[in-house]
């Protein structure tokens, strides 16, 4: 499809999924027509930057979306776009219980870390797999991961699991290459949850963007230690960067891809990767998926005609949980 965008009189920059919104917006002139050729099944977000640096939606575009980072932006759906069935969980779900925990963390310098633990309705009393979810508040409130899991469980599509939603303090550093955050998860969080709840010897590490990198690193560490079965589910995994150059946007190297391509590094058996074709992370996710396949893991890569946003990720949550918690 062809999209023609007319620049309003007050706009100075155009931000979109193609620029990772405000990371690299393009300069525009009032009245200019900016044209994009996009896939027919696309979901596309864009906004204009005004003279005060604020992003605002296109005043002439009919559809808008509310984002957690930029407020209201304009949204475009291609003629063949289809929303996944569980992108919006069904109303009237019989939900389970959520415990709000606060853990003091010596590994994180004594910080108090917030964790929300969801136990689904209808779950058996015995040990359950644990799904560790990064960006916990956004994943719980915006992604509604627990509701998607509950709907799938009610249908018999997945095994029951307990979900731990972790909220970061400084996600840019913690999710990249902060070993103390990994120490917190493995040496403090998991033992605490194992004491409090009956858990199986199986962990699914689920994350979005940099949370996908943190999840992959956690699964690799646990596998190297020989600690049970581990699955990675990463959406738009920000797999660029190495400890010496952690920039997830511009770093030329990928610590994760390098590790996977090293045959001496033990790998988790199961990997589910989702990425948008309009993202700067497309190539590195393809490289990671290829390396995983060559190492003989069970890897599934899904690509969607979309950018780095929650609409894209919500469309894939049902498939990711079916993969990770398949019967």
Average pLDDT over residues 203-208: 98
Q: Which of 27, 51, 77 is the last residue of a domain?
A: 77
For residue 100, pLDDT beyond 90: yes
CA–CA distance, 294 with 288 (Å, rounded to integer): 10
What DSSP element (H or E) covers 298?
strand 298-304
Q: How far apart are the first and last CA of the chain?
A: 39
CA–CA distance, 295 with 261 (Å, rounded to integer): 8
Residues 234-274 pLDDT 10s:
999 999 999 999 999 999 999 999 999 999 999 999 999 99
Average pLDDT over residues 192-221: 98
Residues 17 and 134 in one domain: no
Residues 134 and 267 in one domain: yes
Percent of residues, the chain, with pLDDT higher than 90: 99
For residue 327, pLDDT beyond 90: no
Average pLDDT over residues 169-182: 96
Q: Strands 270-276 and 71-77, how do they pair?
A: unpaired
- Residue 304: inside a domain: yes
CA–CA distance, 157 with 319 (Å, rounded to integer): 10
DSSP 57: -
Percent of residues, the chain, with pLDDT higher than 70: 100
pLDDT of residue 192: 98
Q: Report residue 89 as tokens.
A: 């969980």
For position 8, which CATH number holds?
2.60.40.10
pLDDT of residue 46: 98
Residues 174 and 40 in one domain: no
CA–CA distance, 270 with 322 (Å, rounded to integer): 12
Residues 140 and 211 in one domain: yes
pLDDT of residue 10: 97
Residues 125-163 pLDDT 10s:
999 999 999 999 999 999 999 999 999 999 999 999 999
pLDDT of residue 3: 98
| Mean pLDDT score across all residues of the chain | 97
For residue 21, pLDDT beyond 90: yes
Residues 107 and 59 in one domain: no
Contact 10, 51 (CB under 8 A): yes
CA–CA distance, 196 with 202 (Å, rounded to integer): 16
- Does this model's pTM top 0.95? My answer is yes
For residue 121, pLDDT beyond 90: yes
Residues 65 and 125 in one domain: no
What DSSP element (H or E) covers 300?
strand 298-304
For residue 277, pLDDT beyond 90: yes
Residues 55 and 132 in one domain: no
- Residue 86: inside a domain: no
Average pLDDT over residues 281-288: 98
- Residue 135: inside a domain: yes
Q: Report residue 81 as tokens.
A: 């776009």
Residues 126 and 15 in one domain: no
- Residue 85: inside a domain: no
Residues 50 and 131 in one domain: no
Residues 146 and 278 in one domain: yes
Contact 204, 231 (CB under 8 A): yes
Q: Which domain does 41 fall in, by range? A: 2-77
Residues 33-53 pLDDT 10s:
999 999 999 999 999 999 999
Q: How many domains does the chain have?
A: 2
Average pLDDT over residues 13-41: 97
pLDDT band for position 200 (cuts 50, 70, 90): very high
CA–CA distance, 177 with 155 (Å, rounded to integer): 38
- Residue 84: inside a domain: no
Contact 304, 265 (CB under 8 A): no
pLDDT of residue 157: 97
For residue 313, pLDDT beyond 90: yes
Residues 129 and 36 in one domain: no
Average pLDDT over residues 297-301: 98
């Amino acid at each position: 499809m062809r999209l023609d965008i007319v620049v309003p009189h007050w706009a100075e920059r155009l931000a979109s999924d193609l620029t990772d919104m405000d990371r690299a917006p393009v300069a525009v002139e009032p009245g200019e027509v900016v044209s994009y050729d996009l896939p027919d099944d696309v979901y596309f977000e864009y906004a204009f930057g005004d003279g005060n640096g604020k992003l605002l939606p296109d005043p002439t575009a009919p559809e808008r979306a509310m984002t957690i980072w930029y407020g209201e932006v304009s949204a475009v759906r291609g003629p063949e776009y289809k929303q996944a069935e569980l992108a919006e969980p069904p109303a009237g779900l019989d939900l389970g219980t959520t415990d709000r925990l606060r853990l003091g963390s010596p590994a994180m310098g004594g910080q108090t870390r917030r964790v929300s633990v969801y136990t689904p309705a209808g779950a058996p009393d015995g040990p359950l797999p644990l799904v560790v979810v990064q960006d916990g508040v956004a994943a719980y409130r915006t992604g509604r991961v627990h509701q998607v899991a509950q709907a799938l469980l009610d249908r018999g599509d997945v095994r029951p699991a307990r979900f731990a939603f972790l909220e970061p303090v400084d996600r840019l550093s913690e999710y990249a290459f902060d070993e103390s955050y990994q120490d917190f998860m493995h040496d403090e969080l998991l033992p605490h949850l194992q004491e409090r709840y009956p858990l199986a010897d199986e962990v699914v590490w689920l994350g979005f963007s940099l949370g996908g990198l943190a999840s992959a690193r956690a699964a690799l560490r646990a596998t190297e230690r020989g600690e049970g079965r581990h699955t990675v589910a990463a959406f738009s995994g920000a797999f660029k960067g190495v400890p010496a150059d952690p920039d997830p946007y511009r770093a030329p190297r990928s610590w994760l891809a390098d590790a996977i391509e090293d045959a001496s590094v033990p790998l988790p058996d199961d990997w589910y990767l989702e990425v948008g074709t309009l993202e700067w992370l497309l190539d590195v996710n393809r490289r990671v998926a290829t390396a995983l396949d060559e190492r003989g893991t069970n890897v599934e890569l899904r690509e969607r005609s979309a950018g780095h946003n929650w609409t894209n990720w919500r469309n894939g949550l049902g498939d990711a949980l079916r993969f990770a918690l398949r019967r």
